[in-house]
Structure 1
Amino acid sequence: MDAAVLELFPATARVDGSELVLGGVSASELALVHGTPLVVYCEETLRARARALKTAVGGGHVAFGTKAFANVEVLKLLRSEGIGADVASSGELAFARAAGFSGDELVVHGNNKDGAFLTEAAAENATVVLDGPDEGRRAAAAGVRRVLVRVTVGVDADTHEAIRTGHHGSKFGLPPAQARELIAGALDVGLDVLGLHVHIGSQLADFDAQAETIVRLASFAASCRDTLGWTPRVADLGGGFGIRHNVDEHATDAAELAATAVETARTAFAEAGLEVPEVWLEPGRSLVGPAGVTLYRVGAVKQLPERTWVAVDGGMSDNPRPQLYDAVYTAVAAARVGEGATQRVSVAGMHCESGDVLIDDVFLPAPERGDLLAVPATGAYTLAMASNYNGVTRPAAVLVRDGVARLIRRRETVEDLLRAEVDDAG
């Protein structure tokens, strides 16, 4: 396997003869025991990335963006490394609770939190990020005590339009004037307004947009001091650090970006004449994305004049990102990595959609039915966004370490799908 491709795989990935090995377990063994599609998570990579981000923020708080992959065992692992949980629904909160999170470990998000969700957040004594004009009053009525206020400072991130969130007109947060009103209202109803929250988008490859956002946030904080007599004790800078999904994609290391964000915030707030706040971050993709590899089994090969199609036993139901965000992945033949990758192919999913294409172009050894493909950098927003399209059951997931694979999510069955159906005949 090309060294540049190997860099996209988890830290424990290595080649043994012609076999890809993850966490000390061969890809062939993983597929044989657990079936395919299968998402394989490397424990060593998860822990290393968690520790690097914790170190980067110093005394600040790191909360995992649970939407990237809500899984109880992964959440437990991250919690053991001092990482909190950022949740945006009652379901995600349930996953976090099952993993042992409570209190100030939890940050609660959402642009449309209903009363029940706010009450659940209050019961856990979570920090709630206020996102709408009347949410301060509603949060206080539900029993919430600590809040942040999400502000959109008008920075357009250089990323796919579907995952930009900090621009004017975004459905998230409030522009500065309305955010100030929300802060004032929250203070009036007795909430402890810890600070401010911003998030400008996901899969950010560099720091330019975030740097501008932090400077504008400090300026906004100064305006709050001047008009409200209030200054933030916390600056939550959200997440969005990018990762590499293919060898041509650029992404600065997340821990490096995190350290730069903390230093930029300290400088910007000090230059605005403000006490330097505690910096919080909410990484999702950058924590779990590089730790995950998806294994697929090839079922059909079609040699056409226009292209060669390699069809696998998954597709847009277990990874919709190529269709949603034009995400570009790569793959290797996991049990044939010692052979030359000489044939250019397209990897298609099994679904009844012409657009169900996982990888447009990738070089593989001459493909055959039964080949095992490994797609790196699939630990985030794959299983989290998986569906049952075409009645396909969602994949299993395992955690590998020191030659042992532990099942952390069982494969769905057709019985699981039918269990939600209601038959009222007779």
Structure 2
Amino acid sequence: MGGVDHDVLDLFPDSARIKGATLTLGGLTADELAAEFGTPLVVYCEETLRARARSLRAAVTGGHVAFGAKAFSNVAVLKLFREEGLGVDVASTGELAFARAAGFRGDEIIVHGNNKDAALLAEAGAEGATVVLDAPDEAELAAAAGVKRVLVRVTLGVDADTHEAIRTGHHGSKFGLPVTQARSLIEGALECGLDVLGLHVHIGSQLADFDAQAETIVRLASFAAGCRDSLGWVPKVADLGGGFGIRHNTDEHAPDAATLAAGAVETAQTAFREAGLPTPEIWLEPGRSLVGTAGVTLYRVGAVKRLPERTWVAVDGGMSDNPRPQLYEAVYTAVSATRADERAGEHVSIAGMHCESGDVLIDDVALPTPHRGDLLAVPATGAYTLAMASNYNGVTRPAAVLVGDGAARLIRTRETIADLLRAEV
């Protein structure tokens, strides 16, 4: 293992190994990947993607797992998940286009959004997708657009223990409707002739434990019982959303996603039975837990500044390819991808290349004494990095590759300056 701690390597994809001084992913060394595809480069491990998909499907026996495409909308990854029997949830016409390009059709697709426009509803209706109603007047709009099957998203007032920007189930959330309005929406959808399959809830992302979700499921069963009593309607589906967390650093705690998923199914079965209702089919919509740990970002070190206050190590990316440290105070770690046998004896800060003092990728990490030209690997960057990437400072967005069995396949090309100028008039 050289200088890389076992616990740090656990943050990397299943295929990650340290051979001598070098990190390997999918049977390929980090330096050969960087040489062929350039940096920054996001490397996805096929073995990890398939393993996570299979474990979550096995945890939801008799139910349905749909990949939350917002975590990483990529046609090759979506095709892989479809091969593994997953559906997909999308929240825009763009994400729907990615899903269609990957071969998803009809009821394999769930359409979300707190402000769906006419184009998205029309495309969802034409495709035969299931639409999650999220606004008081959306039943009429969906029916007019040709939508047939719907879920109704209800907000049950549970505060998830996560960053405030990614909480979604609390009172006052922009997502879903409180119980009285949700019940009226169900009634309106039934009157419009829509097939109201069931209910949808989601309380937030990067959940570190099951407590908030368990409370939400119990409240959902109670709400469903109220719908039976007042509307004579019983849900056939309970979509419990996603939000299962992953570890981005060695101090972070995140239970196994498949264990949480199995717990959600069991809790729902118990809660609905105790509410006197038939057990609905359980749907889940994981995103981060499917792709997060599968991705590693490779950066090339540029300037190294040893100041009295701290040592700055600048890399050739930053907040344009991973804005999560700025948006969510996300804490990452890094290893030296080609000097992994050396002792990590110097504490440094990893700075991005952008004209912002806040463009700090990692505030404090121990590395072998860094030099210009070193290759760094940042694990757990497969979710919400490229998906949120920008062209700030006119920087082109990185390439992505899929690795496995000693081969790498380009799944997203690196943007060029010509790409940036193409939209200019």
1:116 to partner: Cα distance: 1.2
Paired residue type of 2:346: Q
Q: Give the count of matched residue pairs.
A: 422
Q: CA deviation at 1:126?
A: 0.3
Structure 2 counterpart SS, 1:299 = strand
Deviating beyond 6 angstroms after TM superposition, the runs of 4 or more aligned structure 1 residues are none
User: Does the alignment pair 1:332 with 2:327?
Assistant: no
SS of the residue aligned with 1:290?
coil
Tell me, in whole angstroms, the C-alpha distance in 2 between the residues paired with 1:105 and 1:25. Answer: 34
Does residue 168 of the first structure (1) align with residue 166 of the second (2)?
A: no
Give % identity.
81
Q: Distance in 1 between matches of 2:350 and 2:217?
A: 41
1:206 aligned partner: 209
1:109-258 matches, within 5 Å, as 109-258=112-261
1:23-34 alignment runs, 5 A limit? 23-34=26-37
Shift of 1:301: 0.3
Which amino acid in the other structure matches residue 294 of structure 1?
T
Q: Secondary structure at the match of 1:32?
A: helix
**Residue 37 of structure 1: how far off its partner (Å):** 0.1
In the superposition, the TM-score normalised over structure 2's length comes to 0.99
Aligned to 2:291: 288
Q: Which whole-Å CA distance do the structure 1 matches of 2:88 and 2:100 have between them?
A: 10
Q: SS where residue 287 of structure 1 aligns?
A: helix
The structural deviation recorded for 1:171 is 0.3
Structure 2 counterparts to residues 306-321 of structure 1, below 5 A: 306-321=309-324
3-state DSSP class of the match of 1:78? helix
- SS in structure 2 at match of 1:351: coil
- SS of corresponding position for 1:177: helix
Q: Distance in 2 between matches of 1:116 and 1:385?
A: 23
Report the secondary structure of 1:101's partner residue.
coil
1:252-401 mapped onto 2 (5 Å cutoff): 252-401=255-404
Map of 1:27-46 to 2, 5 A cutoff? 27-46=30-49
Amino acid of the structure 2 residue aligned with 1:418: L
Residues of 1 paired with 2:345 and 2:71: CA distance?
Answer: 34
Is 1:88 matched with 2:91? yes
SS in 1 for 2:293: helix
CA distance in 2, matches of 1:307, 1:114: 49
Amino acid at match of 1:272: A
Corresponding residue number in structure 1 for 2:8 = 5
Whether 1:414 aligns to 2:417 is yes
Measured against aligned partners, the alpha-carbon deviations of 1:178-197 in whole angstroms (never above 9, x if no partner) come to: 00000000000100000000
Give the distance between the partners of 1:131 and 1:60, measured in 2 at CA. Answer: 23
Q: Which residue is 1:405 aligned to?
A: 408
How far the C-alpha of 1:115 sits from its partner, in A, is 1.0
Q: Which runs of 5+ in 1 are unaligned?
A: none
1:248-267 CA distances to partner (integer Å, 9 max, x unpaired)? 00000000000000000000
Q: Deviations over 1:234-285 (max 9, x none)?
A: 0000000000000000000000000000000000000000000000000000
Residues 1:74 and 2:82 aligned together: no
SS in 1 for 2:292: helix
Give the Cα–Cα distance (whole angstroms) in 1 for the partners of residues 132 and 358 of structure 2.
Answer: 37
Counterpart Cα distance in 1 of 2:377 and 2:208 = 24
Deviations along 1:22-68, one digit per CA (max 9) or x if unpaired, are 00000000000000000000000000000000000001111100000
* Alpha-carbon distance between aligned partners in 1 of 2:105 and 2:185, rounded to the nearest angstrom: 26
- How far apart in 2 are the matches of 1:348 and 1:376? 16
The code of the aligned residue for 1:278 comes to E
Mapped to 2, the partners of 1:314 and 1:258 lie a distance apart of 35
SS in 2 for 1:274: coil
Q: CA RMSD in A?
A: 0.3
Q: Partners in 2 of 1:186 and 1:301 — Cα distance?
A: 60
Q: Structure 1-normalised TM-score?
A: 0.99
Mapped to 1, the partners of 2:419 and 2:142 lie a distance apart of 36
- Pick the aligned partner of 2:53 from 35, 38, 50: 50
Give, in angstroms, the shift of residue 156 of structure 1.
Answer: 0.3
Q: What secondary structure is seen at the aligned counterpart in 2 of 1:136?
A: helix
Q: Deviations over 1:142-196 (max 9, x none)?
A: 0000000000000000000000000010000000000000000000010000000
In the TM superposition, what whole-angstrom CA distance separates every residue of 1:303-339 from its partner, at most 9, and x where no partner exists? 0000000000000000000000000000000000000
Residue identity opposite 2:366 in structure 1: F
Secondary structure (helix, strand or coil) at the match of 2:160 reads: coil
For 2:391 and 2:305, how far apart are their aligned partners in 1?
Answer: 26
Q: Distance in 2 between matches of 1:375 and 1:403?
A: 20
